[in-house]
Structure 1
Amino acid sequence: MQLWIDYDEAEKLVNVTLAPAGMSKPNRPLLSTPINLSQIILGHMYVGFTSATGYPLVSDHYILGWSFNRSGQAQSFDVSSLPRLPPRRKRKEKPGLMTITSLIAAAVVLVTIIGAAYIIRRKKYEEIREDWEMEYGPHRFSYKNLYKATKGFKDEQLLGAGGFGKVYRGVISSSNLQIAVKKVSHDSKQGMKEFVAEIISLGRLRHRNLVQLLGYCRRRGELFLVYDYMPNGSLDKFLYSNGRPSLNWLTRFRILRGVASGLLYLHEEWEQVVLHRDIKASNVLLDAEYNGRLGDFGLARLCDHGTDPHTTHVVGTVGYLAPELTRTGKATTCTDVFAFGAFMLEMACGRRPIELQGQPENVILVDWVFECWRKGAILDASDPRLEGNYVVEEMIMVLKLGLLCSHANPAARPSMRQVMQVLDGDANLPDVPYDTASTFSNYNASDFLLSLSSSFGQRSAPSMSSTDSILKRGR
């Protein structure tokens, strides 16, 4: 038989014509149907053949020759020059009943084994997938890929652990992408849809000082958040680990400016307001050039500019929690600024915001730094490991600005834009004299810092807050 398949691009028409071998092409096609192949044909494609009789009969099908032309009539065949059909295969004798029975039994056993192995393997990689997650397909990682990327979440891949869960290093083999996978427990579906929606929204954040959130995965009682991998790990390991070199002041100041820039982007420059709610040294990660990137958006919350959502539970880390947050439970940009102030003092002093050991008056970092300031010796609060190798003006500015951001009154704290202006040298802190004790005889810490904040002008504390995080039990 001969078969012609023609496509008329102008008419968007496919014609299929059939005739016995040796006959010329009939004028009337066997099949004619309108179809727009421009929506189907790709730039690069493969052409192949398939055939069937449509009946439960044993038959052989052969393509003896074919001709193709992308535009115009295809070349006709010289039927006499085509190869001959292969000789018919001899009919094999039917095997005996015993042989058939043995083969069937072996096949049943083999299918059972394969089926059991498949079920076990499928259960191993079983995930939670609900209908509403269909729209988030591109942002959803398969558990199987994450399992292989982290070598089965082995301890040798562990980057860190804490109350939030564990973080593992991994490599996606198909793209050679290095990732960090945070494994968090969750025991409730309540709010999961809204939480995942916010995770996907946070994945659209783009800033050089933010760790990129790539996507998520859910499996049984576990939630996996997938981030870009930061080769130098978390900042706190360089501040407090004896096994790592201490960062010099130039690097610390660059990290502070970078994190402040990222936080300004979250608060004012993105399409929505992002409240991070857990700013601290362990959530600042360092890339290959030791640039600081704010990460861990597991507690972050979104709200539209000018809206007033509410939260009912306090989340975050002790030492970074603003006093009004512990009273009202309302997270705002001001509570993020407070946490950033504690982070600034932590970087400058090389001490945690709350020290569980030491003299009672030195337990709270902000109180200790303020006391040094009140005595006219604020540089005594600087990290002794720096050995005085810092720019004095920058150190004083960071310590003062850290105290100002840590003000008990949220209205007295600067915004992140004002913080960036000071760090960039575009605005100055007021020159408050502190060289004589009489200057502060009638001041307490709150009054003193309030006088400092007057240079920015009083501003009302924003009422923005956020809904409760489903991961609050993880902190």
Structure 2
Amino acid sequence: MAVLLVVVVSILMMSEFGTSQSNNNSTSSTPIRLSCGSNAAMSSSSFFSNLNSTIDQLRSQLLNNGVYYARAQNLRNEDSVYGLAQCRNYLSTAHCVACFDVAVSAVESCSSVNGANVFLDDCFLRYENFNEFYDNPQTTMDVGVAPTGICGNHSASQPTSFNQTVEELLSDIQIATPRTSNLYVASTRQVSSSNATIYAIAQCVENTTQAICQNCLDTAYNNLYSCLPSMEGRTIDLGCFMRYSETPFFQDNQTTNIIPFLHQGGSSKLSIIVGASVGVGIFLLILASSFWYKLRKKPKKDEDASQFQGVKNYRYEDLQSATHNFSEEHRVGKGGYGEVFKAIIDDENVVAVKKLHVSYGKAITEFNNEAQLISNVRHRNLLQVLGWSNNGPELLLVLEYMPQGSLDKFLWGEKRGTLNWRQRFDIIFGIARGLAHLHEEFHVKIIHRDIKSNNILLDDYFQPKIADFGLARFQPEDQSHVSTRFAGTLGYTAPEYATRGHLTEKVDTYSFGIVALEIISGRRCTEVKFDGLDNDSNYLLEQAWQLYEKEIHIELIDEALDQNDYEEEHVMKIIEIALMCTQSPVTLRPSMSEVVLMLSIGHSLGRKQITRPTFIHPERRVHVETKGLQKM
């Protein structure tokens, strides 16, 4: 131990020298998490000899310019030591080594055991006497310490715009980081409503795989999401680190160009951005020469129409032409709100054009108001409105085009069985985040009223986007929607809304619970299934509740899923959260922000916390609902 103490003293002296040279990248001298192992070394003298040698080797590697990740091992005698260290890539070599020195001094308190890990904002250090974490990046052995989120004490003054900016920035670096060669990204984003700039980084250990890095950052993102609207937050895991702050902690010229890593079409987006820097004169010349062609061939913005933050008002005839007169071959969907057509507009952009079925006189005025509202909604899990048209025989919306289609196709349609458990959980979590944004984060509370599996669209990475939010008032009356005052789909609709017209955001919470059960089971909520347990036939919610009461709700999971693909405890937890969302009375249901939190942190649920849902069979709902709504 004396040898280690000598090393620590010398390290502290070097750390003081390194820190004194700090500027904007000053190294934090306070560990944000320190964990010591639980087992004593077999031989203190041999273990600490190996430890000192390992630390010397790690430090020697980090002294090389451009080296931010180091591994070393010493296997003499019986007490082997495996160590690794990593610095953030925005540090200079001197600051990296200085942070490492502080980390070494911090683990002195773990001197009586044979393992430790310590995290600082700028670096981390870990050593153990086993090699699972060292040789195999897929190991789950993490000395019993769960991923941790640490939030700041101060909240943003304008939480709506701040939350949206941070969420979008973290979402982008969460996607981009695993696709970079060094598994590291630093990026910034300006808050739209202020002059504030958000700084954020994400980093995975360099010997891991892209898939493991992605899974680690998914958890990190979920932990940081729960920090909002705190002005700073960081989340730490033994495989990755993510941080955001309104205070700069790296220089503006140290950011990563993440555009090529975000989408498959990233390279083309990059060329657009580069091309935009060409001289104004050349641009205007090209624009003038092509104007007449685009005027004839492409849908255009109505010059007399208003614009809502970049959302265009298109001429009806242009969208009609782009969809080949709304031809059958261009139709990609049909639902309660209307038909959806694939179209190519504005510089070959592929979009979806939704033709709304509306027949009452005030529709245009209401449509304009609704279009203005929903066009301002921006969230990664909400389908973006790109434009609209109100000057033709039908009202049209121009939306993002999702080539993967709707969720129901993957649960019981032609793509059934292709979603693994990780993808299903991500979809459940994404829907929850989208609804939380509509209910609590947007400046106006929006209640969807018709959450169902075919209103959930999937992007190329199987991330969900909620469609048709804000369109409930345009819902026509048909066999699935029993009143023009009632906008919902039988099987998904909360009992209090279906029978009494009582509308709160908890109606969406109920529908979310039903969709979550569909995703887990791969089964329609309106499908009757014979239950061998009670010799009875049940709908999905009834069966889920009966299995939960018998504590065997794992049996609800889709048989198409590989049993090696999921942990039973995790699936059962998600089923319990779904059942919480369907409880009666309404006051017992969690808010969607609480659902997001439970999904993020693995909240443990006790059986007494969940009450029995109210069951209303779909074939008996029409009579009851119509009678109830006539009294309103």
TM over 0.5, yes or no?
yes
TM class, shorter-length: 0.5 to 0.7
Match of 1:366 among 524, 538, 541: 541
Change in 2 beyond 3 A, CA 1:255/1:138: closer
DSSP 3-state at the match of 2:486: coil
Change in 2 beyond 3 A, CA 1:349/1:297: same
> Do 2:547 and 2:555's aligned partners in 1 also have CA atoms closer than 8 Å?
yes
State yes or no: 1:410 paired with 2:586. Answer: yes
DSSP 3-state at the match of 1:285: strand
Q: How far apart, CA to CA, are the structure 2 residues paired with 1:381 and 1:264? A: 26
CA drift at 1:300? 4.5
Aligned letter for 1:445?
R
Q: How far apart, CA to CA, are the structure 2 residues paired with 1:381 and 1:428? A: 19
Change in 2 beyond 3 A, CA 1:315/1:446: closer
CA drift at 1:331? 2.1
* Equivalent residue, structure 2, for 1:425: 601
Change in 2 beyond 3 A, CA 1:156/1:393: same
Match of 2:612 among 440, 445, 456: 445
State yes or no: 1:398 paired with 2:574. Answer: yes
Aligned letter for 1:384?
E
Q: Bigger shift: 373-382 or 148-157?
A: 148-157
Match of 1:209 among 361, 367, 381: 381
> Do 1:185 and 1:222's aligned partners in 2 also have CA atoms closer than 8 Å?
yes
The 5 Å alignment of 1:39-438 reads 44=281, 139-172=312-345, 174-218=346-390, 220-297=392-469, 299-300=471-472, 313-355=485-527, 361-388=536-563, 389-425=565-601, 427-430=603-606
DSSP 3-state at the match of 2:396: strand
Q: Deviation string for 1:360-391 (max 9, x for gaps)?
A: 94432111111111122111111111142322
Aligned letter for 2:333?
G
Q: How far apart, CA to CA, are the structure 2 residues paired with 1:250 and 1:334? A: 26
> Do 2:584 and 2:611's aligned partners in 1 also have CA atoms closer than 8 Å?
no
Q: How far apart, CA to CA, are the structure 2 residues paired with 1:298 and 1:151? A: 27
CA drift at 1:215? 2.2
> Do 2:528 and 2:537's aligned partners in 1 also have CA atoms closer than 8 Å?
no
Q: Deviation string for 1:120-147 (max 9, x for gaps)?
A: xxxxxxxxx9x9x657695311122212
* Equivalent residue, structure 1, for 2:242: none
Change in 2 beyond 3 A, CA 1:373/1:138: closer
TM-score by length of 1: 0.59
Aligned letter for 2:403?
P
Greater relative contact order structure (CA < 8 Å, 6+ sep): 1
CA drift at 1:194? 2.6
Q: Bigger shift: 199-208 or 162-171?
A: 162-171
Q: Deviation string for 1:35-92 (max 9, x for gaps)?
A: xxxxxxxx7599xxxxxxxxxxxxxxxxxxxxxxxxxxxxxxxxxxxxxxxxxxxxxx
Q: Bigger shift: 221-230 or 202-211?
A: 221-230
CA drift at 1:264? 0.6
> Do 1:361 and 1:368's aligned partners in 2 also have CA atoms closer than 8 Å?
no
DSSP 3-state at the match of 1:178: strand
Q: How far apart, CA to CA, are the structure 2 residues paired with 1:245 and 1:426? A: 26
CA drift at 1:186? 1.4
* Gap regions ≥5 residues in structure 2: 1-279, 285-301, 474-482, 615-632
Q: How far apart, CA to CA, are the structure 1 residues paired with 2:336 and 2:440? A: 30
Q: How far apart, CA to CA, are the structure 1 residues paired with 2:438 and 2:611? A: 33
More helix by share: 2
Q: How large is the RMSD of aligned CA atoms in angstroms?
A: 3.4
Q: How far apart, CA to CA, are the structure 1 residues paired with 2:501 and 2:313? A: 32
Q: Bigger shift: 238-247 or 325-334?
A: 238-247
Change in 2 beyond 3 A, CA 1:206/1:243: closer
Q: How far apart, CA to CA, are the structure 2 residues paired with 1:152 and 1:298? A: 26
Change in 2 beyond 3 A, CA 1:426/1:369: closer
Change in 2 beyond 3 A, CA 1:404/1:361: farther
Q: Bigger shift: 272-281 or 381-390?
A: 381-390
CA drift at 1:214? 1.6
Q: How far apart, CA to CA, are the structure 2 residues paired with 1:152 and 1:220? A: 13
Q: How far apart, CA to CA, are the structure 1 residues paired with 2:525 and 2:416? A: 21
CA drift at 1:244? 4.9
> Do 2:404 and 2:459's aligned partners in 1 also have CA atoms closer than 8 Å?
yes
Q: Bigger shift: 246-255 or 180-189?
A: 180-189
Percent of pairs identical after alignment? 35
Q: How far apart, CA to CA, are the structure 1 residues paired with 2:321 and 2:523? A: 39
Q: Deviation string for 1:211-231 (max 9, x for gaps)?
A: 101222135542211111112
CA drift at 1:162? 3.0
Q: How far apart, CA to CA, are the structure 1 residues paired with 2:435 and 2:523? A: 22
Aligned letter for 1:151?
H
Change in 2 beyond 3 A, CA 1:421/1:193: same
Change in 2 beyond 3 A, CA 1:312/1:224: closer
> Do 2:311 and 2:385's aligned partners in 1 also have CA atoms closer than 8 Å?
no
* Gap regions ≥5 residues in structure 1: 1-42, 47-128, 302-310, 434-442, 448-475
How many aligned positions are there? 309
DSSP 3-state at the match of 2:601: coil
Q: How far apart, CA to CA, are the structure 2 residues paired with 1:407 and 1:401? A: 10
DSSP 3-state at the match of 2:430: helix
> Do 1:181 and 1:224's aligned partners in 2 also have CA atoms closer than 8 Å?
yes
> Do 2:356 and 2:394's aligned partners in 1 also have CA atoms closer than 8 Å?
yes
DSSP 3-state at the match of 2:446: strand
Q: How far apart, CA to CA, are the structure 2 residues paired with 1:357 and 1:375? A: 18
Aligned letter for 2:540?
L
Q: How far apart, CA to CA, are the structure 1 residues paired with 2:369 and 2:376? A: 11
Q: How far apart, CA to CA, are the structure 2 residues paired with 1:209 and 1:283? A: 12
> Do 1:168 and 1:180's aligned partners in 2 also have CA atoms closer than 8 Å?
yes
Change in 2 beyond 3 A, CA 1:138/1:210: closer
